[in-house]
């Protein structure tokens, strides 16, 4: 089960590391036009695209790539480390670059966590441990007695006996570390189970020599036992001296961490060990003590120790800084967290920009938005060379949205206006969030602030405003915003926003209002709607009884060079239109007096399919002579006659056919004038 979870985490880490596809299309989204073009006919419920902010907004790859800073939890970092050291050909330089790319700082605690997770992956554990050994030094002190013992556990667990003994030798000769009791027990059990009698004897001899008693863990346990047994006083100090233990940085740090803040004994021991001359504190012991004191109840003591550390010329250990920062944030000690961030920024090893983003996100989701604290983080970051990016602000925006505080977005923007201006992608997101949340006043304020700072909004931002208002159901505001958009940036590139607006009107059964807007924009502002926009609106107008308005749109389409959209008209006329309506339609759809014969045939067929034979006959009587006498038309009516058409229709068709036969005979006899005269006399009077 553990291996399956690890594989899933590795897969997630890999997916997160992949770059997003760039150069996404312009607002004229192909998928939108494709969907719209699939409208086949008008019915009681014609097709209208259902816009949604997740599917049809046209944000670019730069916005898609604007994710919050990578998860900095130990588990995620272990996944990255496991993946990294599983690969072949990873040089020290490549490893360094990979760690920087994933914002990973290898600390003592991270090494311990990684080795615990690599118990069943000895090859990866060995590569990782060897790399740490090459890069560790007295300054970093990443590897400890506990680290070595965990590595021994990995080796013995996987039957690597020779390597086990090689590491025991290295620990004893080079580091002075011994084998811990837990590791000894585990190794003894494995050796006995594998019937390795020589190794069992060797291990027992090692234990008898006292090697295990000299492990840091064992020494720390002995010191802690003395401290906990009694109230601190001369007797405790005497017993500590009698232990004859050499206090090292690792040992002091471990004792402080194990004692904690119980009865102030950890801090008392920390003071005593230096005042007694047993040990001089370094950055690691100061950092360990600071980590223990990082709480609300011990905040004053924490900063006193930090000041002492700075006065001694030390900087806080990176691992301790990360742990303390997260603890301050978790306990809602945001001011202390910002103070710590400022302290770290003043050192030689500065935190990354992700720490700035992390703090800003936590500040904006706090119970009360402290803009002074927010601006202070921005100032600290800027003064130390970290410029606020659109990615950072996008993360802040998401945090504001998550707690329903999007209206504070303008406050945040004003706080950083001298150092940061959002790009068009971020402007679009802000505009959409404000308008879709019903914050029309804040949206207007945002537009005004952007224009006042000489950052005029582009078509994408205007379209996002329109889309947001449509999603919020505020059609009047959406319409007003669209008209303002046309005034500000001109008619070109506003087609997407217009289709959003038209579709939203149609979904609310306000197709006539949409028609008025389109007509006004086309005639007064030279807007050129997409073909799909016309098709959507025509279908809904016919469904809502707006035949005359739909005909007018047909005329606008014709003037703008689009082919006529016939299907919804044919269906509407065949089911509910009168013959006069049909004639009006045929004249409106073409620049000529009448359209071609196939259009009439399509209408006749639709009438017959709808069972409206008499209306088909009345329409035929109103048609021009070349349609009434056309052979395909007559054949269609004859087939309907044989299928049971009304008697009047049958008589009409018989007369037509008789006339055509007489005309044919007279033409053959070279009497065309007589043929025309006789043909007209055979036709029934209207």
For range 665-681, the mean pLDDT: 46
Give the helix ranges, DSSP H, for 261-352.
Answer: 265-275, 283-293, 299-311, 318-330, 334-345
Cα 23 from Cα 62, distance rounded (Å): 9
For residue 214, the model assigns a pLDDT of 63
**Phi, psi torsion values for 577, nearest 5 degrees:** -85, 150
Q: In the structure encoding, which two tokens stand for residue 194, read together? A: 């594998």
3-state percent helix, strand, coil for the chain, nearest multiple of 5: 70, 0, 30
pLDDT in tens, 560-592: 888 878 888 888 888 888 888 888 888 777 766
pLDDT in tens, 631-653: 888 888 887 765 555 544 545 55
Query: What is the pLDDT confidence band of residue 122, given thresholds at 50, 70 and 90?
Result: confident
Cα 231 from Cα 242, distance rounded (Å): 17
Please work out, in degrees rounded to the nearest 5, the angle formed at the alpha carbon of residue 65 by the alpha carbons of 64 and 68. Answer: 105
User: Token pair 């009434």 is at which residue?
Assistant: 628
Instruction: Indicate if the pLDDT at residue 502 is higher than 70.
Output: yes
For range 232-239, the mean pLDDT: 90
Cα 465 from Cα 461, distance rounded (Å): 6
Separation of CA 296 from chain center: 35
For range 445-464, the mean pLDDT: 85
Is the C-alpha dihedral spanning 318, 321, 327, 332 positive or negative?
A: negative
pLDDT in tens, 203-213: 888 777 766 55
Q: What is the pTM of this model?
A: 0.64
Contact status, residue 106 vs residue 37, Cβ threshold 8 Å:
no
pLDDT in tens, 48-104: 444 433 333 333 333 333 333 344 456 778 888 888 888 887 888 888 888 877 878
């Amino acid at each position: 089960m553990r291996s399956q979870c690890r594989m899933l985490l590795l897969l997630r880490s890999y997916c997160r590391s992949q770059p997003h596809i760039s150069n996404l299309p312009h607002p004229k989204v192909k998928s939108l036009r494709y969907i719209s073009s699939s409208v086949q006919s008008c019915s009681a419920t014609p097709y209208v695209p259902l816009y949604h902010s997740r599917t049809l907004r046209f944000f670019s790859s730069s916005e898609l790539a604007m994710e919050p800073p990578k998860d900095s939890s130990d588990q995620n970092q272990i996944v990255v480390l496991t993946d990294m050291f599983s690969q072949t050909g990873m040089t020290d330089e490549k490893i360094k670059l990979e760690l920087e790319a994933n914002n990973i700082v290898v600390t003592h605690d991270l090494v311990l966590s990684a080795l615990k997770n690599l118990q069943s992956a000895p090859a990866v554990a060995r590569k990782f441990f060897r790399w740490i050994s090459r890069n560790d030094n007295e300054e970093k002190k990443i590897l400890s007695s506990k680290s070595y013992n965990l590595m021994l556990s990995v080796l013995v667990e996987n039957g690597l006996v020779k390597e086990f003994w090689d590491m025991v030798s290295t620990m004893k000769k080079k580091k002075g570390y011994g084998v811990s009791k837990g590791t000894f027990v585990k190794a003894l059990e494995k050796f006995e189970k594998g019937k390795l009698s020589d190794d069992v004897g060797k291990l027992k001899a090692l234990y008898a020599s006292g090697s295990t008693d000299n492990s840091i863990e064992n020494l720390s346990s002995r010191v802690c036992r003395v401290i906990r047994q009694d109230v601190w006083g001369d007797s405790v100090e005497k017993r500590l001296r009698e232990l004859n233990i050499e206090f090292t940085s690792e040992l002091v740090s471990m004792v402080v961490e194990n004692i904690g803040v119980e009865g102030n004994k950890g801090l008392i021991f920390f003071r005593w060990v230096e005042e007694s001359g047993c040990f001089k504190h370094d950055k690691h012991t100061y950092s360990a003590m600071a980590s223990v004191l990082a709480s609300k109840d011990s905040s004053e003591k924490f900063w006193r120790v930090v000041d002492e550390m700075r006065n001694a010329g030390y900087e806080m250990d990176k691992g301790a800084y990360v742990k303390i920062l997260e603890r301050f944030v978790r306990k809602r000690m945001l001011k202390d967290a910002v103070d710590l961030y400022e302290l770290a920024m003043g050192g030689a090893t500065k935190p990354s920009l992700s720490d700035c983003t992390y703090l800003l996100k936590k500040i904006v989701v706090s119970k009360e938005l402290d803009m002074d604290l927010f601006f202070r983080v921005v100032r600290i970051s800027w003064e130390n060379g970290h410029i606020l990016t659109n990615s950072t602000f996008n993360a802040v925006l998401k945090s504001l949205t998550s707690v329903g505080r999007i209206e504070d977005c303008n406050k945040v923007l004003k706080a950083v206006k001298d150092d940061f201006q959002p790009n068009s992608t971020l402007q679009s997101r802000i505009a959409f969030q404000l308008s879709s949340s019903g914050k029309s006043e804040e949206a207007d304020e945002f537009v005004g602030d952007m224009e006042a700072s000489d950052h005029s909004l582009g078509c994408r931002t205007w379209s996002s405003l329109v889309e947001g208002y449509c999603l919020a159901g505020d059609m009047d505001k959406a319409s007003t915003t669209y008209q303002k958009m046309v005034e500000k940036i001109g008619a070109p590139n506003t087609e997407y926003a217009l289709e959003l607006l038209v579709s939203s009107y149609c979904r609310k059964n306000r197709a006539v209002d949409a028609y008025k807007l389109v007509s006004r924009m086309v005639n007064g502002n030279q807007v050129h709607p997409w073909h799909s926009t016309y098709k959507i609106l025509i279908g809904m107008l016919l469904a809502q009884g707006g035949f005359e308005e739909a005909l007018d749109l047909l005329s606008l389409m014709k003037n703008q060079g689009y082919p006529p959209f016939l299907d919804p008209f044919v269906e509407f006329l065949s089911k509910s239109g009168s013959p006069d309506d049909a004639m009006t339609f045929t004249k409106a759809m073409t620049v000529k007096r009448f359209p071609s014969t196939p259009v009439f045939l399509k209408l006749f067929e639709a009438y017959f399919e709808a069972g409206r034979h008499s209306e088909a006959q009345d329409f035929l009587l109103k048609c021009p002579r070349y349609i009434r006498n056309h052979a395909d038309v007559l054949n269609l009516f004859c087939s309907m006659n044989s299928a049971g058409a009304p008697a009047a229709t049958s008589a009409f068709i018989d007369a037509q056919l008789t006339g055509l036969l007489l005309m044919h005979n007279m033409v053959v006899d070279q009497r065309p004038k007589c043929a025309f005269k006789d043909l007209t006399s055979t036709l029934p009077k209207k």
